[in-house]
Amino acid sequence: MTTQQAQKAIQDLTQKINYHNDLYYQKHKTEISDFEFDKLLEQLVALENQFPDLKQPDSPTQRVGGAITKEYQTVYHQYPMLSLGNTYSREELTDFDGRVAKGLDGDAYEYFCELKFDGVSISLIYENGILTKGVTRGDGVRGDDVTANVKTIRNIPLKIIDTNIPKNFEVRGEVFMPKDIFIKLNKEREDIGEEKYANARNTASGTLKMQDSSIVAQRKLDCYAYYLLGKDLDVETHEQGIHKLEKWKFNVSDAYRKCKTLDEVFEYIDYWENRRGELPLETDGVVIKVNSLEQQERLGFTAKSPRWAIAYKYKAESVSTRLNGITYQVGRTGAITPVAELEPVQLSGTTVKRASLHNANEIARLDLRIGDYVFVEKGGEIIPKVTGVDLLKRKGNQKPLAYITHCPECQTLLIRHEGEAAHYCPNVNGCPPQIKGRIEHFIQRKAMDIDSLGEQTIRQLFELGLVKSPADLYFLTKEDLLRLDKVKEKSAQNMLNGIKQSKQAPFESVLFAIGIRYVGKTVAEKLARHFKTIDNLATATYDELLAAPEVGEIIAQSVLEFFKNRENLVEISRLKKAGLNFEAQIKEVVLDSTVLDNKSFVISGVFENYERDELKDIILKNGGKVLSSISGKLDYLLAGENMGPAKREKAEKLGVPIISLNDFNALLAGQKL
Ligand code: IVH
Q: What is the CATH number for 28?
A: 1.10.287.610
Q: Whose CA is nearest to atom 17 of ligand 1?
A: 116
Residue 293 lies in a domain: yes
> Residue 64: is its pLDDT beyond 50?
no
| Pocket (CB within 6 angstroms of ligand 1) | 82-84, 114, 116-117, 121, 137, 174, 226-227, 287, 306, 309, 311
The answer to whether residue 485 sits within a structural domain is yes
Please enumerate, as own/partner, the contacts of 192-196 that have beta carbons within 8 Å and a separation of 24 or more.
Answer: 192/333, 192/515, 192/517, 192/518, 192/519, 192/520, 193/332, 193/333, 193/335, 193/517, 193/518, 194/518, 194/520, 195/421, 195/422
Chosen domain end from 578, 613, 639? 578
Same domain, 653 and 514: no
Q: Say if residue 647's pLDDT is above 50.
A: yes
89/18 Cα distance (integer angstroms)? 26
Residue 402 maps to a domain? no
Same domain membership, residue 286 and residue 142: yes
Same domain, 292 and 211: yes
The percent of residues in the chain predicted with pLDDT above 70, rounded, is 95
Give the number of the atom of ligand 1 that is nearest the alpha carbon of residue 174: 13
Closest CA to 653 of 637, 668, 639: 637
Query: Where does a domain end: 18, 36, 64?
Result: 64
Question: What does the pLDDT average to over 485-499?
Answer: 94
Residues 532, 466 share a domain:
no
Q: What distance in Å separates the CA atoms of residue 387 and residue 391, rounded to the nearest whole number?
A: 12
Residue 641, domain CATH: 3.40.50.10190
Q: Is the pLDDT of residue 161 over 90?
A: no
Residue 619 lies in a domain: yes
Q: What is the CATH number of the domain that holds 168?
A: 3.30.470.30
Query: Is the domain of 213 the same as that of 348?
Result: no
Distance 321 CA to ligand 1 centre (A): 34
Atom index in ligand 1 nearest the CA of residue 305 equals 2
3-state secondary structure 311-359: EEECCCCEEEEEEEEEEEEECCCCEEEEEEEEEEEEECCEEEEEEECCC
8 A C-beta contact, residue 518 and residue 594: no
**Contacts of residue 319, Cβ cutoff 8 Å, sequence gap at least 6:** 345, 346, 347, 352, 375, 376
CATH number for the domain including 440?
A: 1.10.150.20
Residue whose C-alpha is closest to residue 224's, from 292, 135, 153: 153
Domain match, 606 and 645 both: yes
Active site residues: 116
Domain boundary among 313, 343, 360: 313
Same domain? For 93 and 155 the reply is yes
Asked whether residue 593 is assigned to any structural domain, the reply reads: no
In a domain, 421, yes or no: no
The answer for residues whose C-beta is within 8 angstroms of residue 48's C-beta and 6 or more apart is 10, 54, 55, 59, 61
Q: Note the pLDDT tens digit of each residue in 242-300.
A: 999 999 989 999 999 999 999 999 999 999 987 887 888 888 899 999 999 999 999 99
Q: Which protein residue has the closest C-alpha to ligand 1 atom 22?
A: 83
pLDDT digits (tens, 9 = 90+) for 309-324: 999 998 877 889 999 9
Instruction: Note whether 40 and 158 are same-domain residues.
Output: no
Average pLDDT over residues 504-525: 94
Q: How confident is the model at residue 381 (pLDDT cuts 50, 70, 90)?
A: low
Name the residue range of residue 351's domain: 318-393
Asked whether residue 211 falls in the same domain as residue 357, the answer is: no
Assigned domain for 420 exists: no
Cα–ligand 1 centroid distance for 311 (angstroms): 8
Q: Is residue 43 assigned to a domain?
A: yes
- Residues 440, 456 within the same domain: yes
Ligand 1 closest atom vs CA 86: 7
Domain at 379, CATH number: 2.40.50.140
Q: How close is the Cα of 548 to the center of ligand 1, in Å? A: 43
Average pLDDT of the residues of the chain: 89
* Whether pLDDT at 332 is above 80: yes
CA dist., res. 504 & res. 321, Å (int): 53
What atom of ligand 1 comes closest to residue 301's alpha carbon? Answer: 2
306 and 193 co-located in one domain: yes
- If one residue of 41, 78, 114, 121 were mutated to test the ligand 1 pocket, choosing by the most ligand atoms within 8 A of its CB, it would be 121
In 3D space, the residue among 371, 376, 344, 33 whose CA is nearest the CA of residue 199 turns out to be 33
List the residue whose alpha carbon is closest to atom 13 of ligand 1. Answer: 121
Tally of domains in the chain: 6
Question: Would you place residue 207 in the very low, low, confident or very high pLDDT band (cuts 50, 70, 90)?
Answer: very high
Same domain, 522 and 436: no
DSSP state of 9: H
CB 373 within 8 A of CB 390: yes
